Structure 1
Amino acid sequence: MIDLILPCLDEALALPWIMKRLPAGVRAIVVDNGSADGSAEVAVALGARVISCEQRGYGAACHAGLLASDAELVGFCDCDGSVDPAVVPAFAELVSSGASDLVVGRRRPVSAGAWPLHARLANTGLSWWLRRTTGAQLHDIGPLRVARRVCLLGLGPIDRRSGYPLETVVLAARAGWKITECDIAYRPRAGRSKVTGTVSGTLRAVQDMSAVLAR
């Protein structure tokens, strides 16, 4: 069994598609981060395990899900319908076989509007900085990541905002983990974007991630 942690803030429109695409052996943990659109109720009705995270922030929701999980392997996936969770078992196999300690998805947009230019440029710059700082040969701060739960907890990430995914990679690289990057199709999200779909949201994410790299 793999726990797929889905940080959720007003994603009622995306949840039905995500839950429908969950493959056998993957269990959804939806972490409601203060949704006002009934996301928690939708997720429960669709069979997901739902927990509440009162502390606002993507990283806070991710870490709450990690603490709530009891599976050997865990994944983190954006809950906006941009990534197909059907690829999770392939990521998990790389970890369970010992071929990798952390598998990160590299976004390959399926349409021009799936990944706004300002978000792509920001990701390119941060990825370059990550490679230069840690030596990890990654080209994306991916929206899908899979690793062993106990090992992730041992890294001790402290960021509770948008820097959480990057901090996980930085700590893993410094700990000598084998990190693998795999291409994933990246689709237009369902509903309104709170982060990378807006320039202001992207700037906040860049600030959070830059702080992680500067530490």
Structure 2
Amino acid sequence: MTDVVLPCLNEAAALPWVLARMPAGFRAIVADNGSTDGSADIARAHGARVVSVSQPGYGAAVHAGLIAADPDDDVVCVMDADGSFDPCELTRFVGPVREGAADLVVGRRRPTRWTSWPAHARIGNAILARRVRRMTGLAVYDIGPVRAARRSELLALDLRDRRFGYPLELLVAAGRAGWQVTELNVSYHPRAQGTKSKVTGTVLGTARAIRDMRAVLAR
């Protein structure tokens, strides 16, 4: 059984669809980061394991989910819980890790509609991805929110960022550790109706994420 860590903050509108699309052989761990909209109860009602995360931040939620994942099946996935990605695509990410063809598989977003990925967020992502390519030599073009790797190896990287800089720190650390990193296209859908991304939904949210990621690069 492959665990899927879903960092979650007020995703009640999206969770039923996301959890219903979880493929056979995959188990959802919802890392609830202080939701006030009943997300945790909805997740439990749909069969997910819920981990309460008191420390705020995307990285804190991901780390708590990794700690809670089953160590017996070492491969683990991470995916946003907002409905912008289809869990059915996770099977493509796990295969290269299990086969030893990749240490880390990350998603390169391909928007299904132009509204899925606002221009300000796309530009910021492209700039950061170019920095990562120059720093690490990794052929990555997205600071992707979908990924698969071995749980034990992710924890051994000892990532420290607990905010939005976590995905960037992961790529930099993986590059420095000599990991084989594979990037796969993944469909990027509009979020669940009535919800807004904490990062791409506003210019301020994107600016905060870029600030966190710049702090990672500065280290």
Fold in common (TM above 0.5): yes
Whole-angstrom CA distance in 2 between matches of 1:61 and 1:132: 29
Whole-angstrom CA distance in 2 between matches of 1:197 and 1:129: 23
Partner in structure 2 of residue 13 of structure 1: 13
Q: State which of 94, 97, 108 in structure 2 corresponds to 1:95.
A: 97
In the alignment, structure 1 residue 208 sits paired with structure 2 residue 212: yes
Partner in structure 2 of residue 57 of structure 1: 57
Partner in structure 2 of residue 154 of structure 1: 156
Whole-angstrom CA distance in 1 between matches of 2:215 and 2:196: 26
Whole-angstrom CA distance in 2 between matches of 1:89 and 1:128: 27
Q: State which of 134, 145, 148 in structure 1 corresponds to 2:147.
A: 145
Partner in structure 1 of residue 120 of structure 2: 118
In the alignment, structure 1 residue 193 sits paired with structure 2 residue 197: yes
SS at match of 1:94: helix
CA-to-aligned-CA distance 1:174-203 (integer Å, 9 cap, x gap): 000000000000000111222211100000
C-alpha displacement of 1:214: 1.6
- Paired AA for residue 165 in structure 1: P
Whole-angstrom CA distance in 1 between matches of 2:162 and 2:197: 19
Whole-angstrom CA distance in 1 between matches of 2:197 and 2:100: 36
- Paired AA for residue 94 in structure 2: A
Q: Normalising to structure 2: TM-score of the pair?
A: 0.97
SS at match of 2:12: coil
Q: State which of 58, 73, 82 in structure 2 corresponds to 1:80.
A: 82
CA-to-aligned-CA distance 1:26-85 (integer Å, 9 cap, x gap): 100001100010000000000000010000000000000001111311111011000111
Identical-residue share of aligned pairs (%) = 59
In the alignment, structure 1 residue 136 sits paired with structure 2 residue 138: yes
Whole-angstrom CA distance in 1 between matches of 2:49 and 2:179: 30
Q: 5 Å matches for 1:34-45?
A: 34-45=34-45
**Runs of 4+ with deviation above 4 angstroms:** none
Whole-angstrom CA distance in 1 between matches of 2:180 and 2:131: 19
Q: Normalising to structure 1: TM-score of the pair?
A: 0.99
SS at match of 1:36: coil
SS at match of 1:189: coil
Whole-angstrom CA distance in 1 between matches of 2:90 and 2:84: 14
Partner in structure 2 of residue 109 of structure 1: 111
Whole-angstrom CA distance in 2 between matches of 1:25 and 1:138: 28
